[in-house]
Amino acid sequence: MKTGDASGRGRVPVKVKKDRGRTAASRAWLQRQLNDPYVAAARSKGYRSRAAFKLIELDGRFHFLRKGAKVLDLGAAPGGWSQVAAAKGAMVVAADVLEMEPIPGVTFFKADLTGADVPAMLKEALGGPADIVLTDMAAPTTGHRATDHIRTIALAEIALEVALDVLKPGGTFVGKVFQGGSSNELLTRLKKAFREVKHVKPPASRQESVELYVVALGFKAEK
């Protein structure tokens, strides 16, 4: 899917007026949302979040989504990534500790990924090992970069544990980390378990955001 219509060219910036009931921070957030072309594009295309374009752009570069692929989307709510994968013709199983509104072609489980029986349950729902494991999970930001990095890496490590349990040989893992890349331990595990590991910042990721994505291709299992 092309994302040229999300470039923002020719758009007139929207300014949010001061309001006694609105803080400067909330006014800045609202103004950013109103002027974000990816937010507008997500709304027009029916995606549940602008994050859908991040997955579209990552797939446009690495071509891991395909018709008939078995995809596991971890921390899936509100569902933007699941929507993209399902639209590609993949069989999608999604999981999150939060509720998620149904998506055609997506099987959803409200589940804690740290549960010992969760990987087996998800693999059974897929009907076998996964071709692709996706995660766009991030802990709520604190404004302290080091703390946010550690918390997001912890979520990536949880997702990787599930991925190592459910992926088939040759499979793909795509997950969110923060700038500074994966932690040394996480990166070591990724390089050991996958043929190729890349850190990428897709265009849809806001320039001021410190998020990065790791794309690990060619699962070969831990030894």
What residues have CB less than 8 Å from 17, skipping those under 6 apart? none
* Residue reference for tokens 């544990």: 161
Assigned token pair, 82: 């699941």
Catalytic-role residue among 54, 70, 88, 176: 176
Q: Strand order in 194-200's β-sheet?
A: 106-110, 91-96, 70-74, 130-135, 167-178, 211-219, 194-200
Assigned token pair, 120: 């087996």
Contact between 150 and 89 (Cβ < 8 Å): no
Q: How many Cα atoms are found within 13 Å in the side-chain-facing hemisphere of 199?
A: 13
What residues have CB less than 8 Å from 193, skipping those under 6 apart? 164, 216, 219, 220, 221, 222
Assigned token pair, 81: 């990534």
Distance (Å, whole) CA 60 – CA 176: 17
Does the annotation count 176 as an active-site position? yes
List residues with catalytic annotation. 176
